[in-house]
Copies of this chain bind each other. A is one copy, B any other.
Amino acid sequence: MSDKTRVRRLPERAVEDREAVAAILDEAFVCHAGYVIDGRPVVIPTLYVRDGDRVLLHGSNSMGLARAVRAGSPLSVAVTIVDGLVLARSAFNSSANYRSVVIHGAGILLDDAEKAAAFEVIVDKLIPGRLAELRPSTPSEIAQTSVISLTLEEVSAKVRVGGPGDDGEDLSEPVWAGVVPTRLVFGEPEPDVDLADGIDLPDYLRPYRR
């Protein structure tokens, strides 16, 4: 069986490899966190980072997510990177290329001492290099913030790569087939209107220029 055939037959697969899971989690920075309140699901987007064998979800104390964790709701946290639209020769076989991780478990609301450290990890992972430039967070700021830690124990990942998985009899259909790739790009950093004179774009933001 050629590699091409294998890819055609297995375009979508579960990923078990811890490093592959970590790579997906490290590339994205927005997750969708689901919790249960009164038997109903609620899904919200929030910033997160991976920190070793856990993810840290950032929020405010007032957000429903923090309240739900406090009330004991288990969590489902999904991270999805969309890599393209897959245009098969039939609607049925059309799909998307993506890499996704879903983590289940009981989140833990960090206490103030843990939060102070976690807060620094979040800043450092989101914008590497910036942490050293920022003033320390105040106790009041830390108290107003919530950080939820969720361990990477119950984790599943799925990846779809490659071209369309058409059925053999569709290969003669007279229609274009292939992939329209997608990716998230960073644009030129835009200085704040109040930025003081003489503060140049820091080196750690140069990689974000296109």
Given that A45-B98, A193-B163 are contacting pairs, would A87 and B130 also be in contact in the complex, using a CB cutoff of 8 Å?
yes
Neighbouring B residues of A84 by C-beta, 8 Å = 187
A182 — which chain B residues lie within 8 A by C-beta? 184-187
Residue of B nearest to A172 (CB): B196
Contact for A74 among B41, B74, B89, B205, CB less than 8 A = B41
Query: Does any Cβ of B come within 8 Å of A152's Cβ?
Result: no
Q: List CB contacts (< 8 Å) of A179-210 with chain B.
A: 179-196, 199-202, 205, 208
Min distance, Cβ A64 to any Cβ of chain B, angstroms: 11
User: How many copies of the polypeptide does the oligomer hold?
Assistant: 2
Q: Which applies to chain A's interface (DSSP): helix, strand, loop or mixed?
A: mixed
Given A89-B135, A181-B190, A182-B187, 8 more A-B residue pairs with CB atoms under 8 Å apart are A36-B36, A41-B75, A42-B104, A90-B137, A134-B173, A135-B173, A178-B195, A182-B186
19 pairs, CB–CB < 8 Å, chain A vs chain B? A32-B34, A34-B41, A36-B41, A43-B78, A43-B102, A44-B100, A45-B78, A85-B126, A92-B138, A163-B193, A164-B192, A171-B194, A172-B196, A176-B191, A176-B200, A177-B191, A178-B189, A179-B189, A179-B192
Residues of A within 8 A of B (CB): 4, 29-30, 32-36, 39-45, 47, 73-78, 80, 82, 84-85, 87, 89-92, 94, 96, 98, 100, 102, 104, 119-120, 122-123, 126-127, 130-131, 133-135, 137-138, 141, 144-145, 163-164, 166, 170-196, 199-202, 205, 208
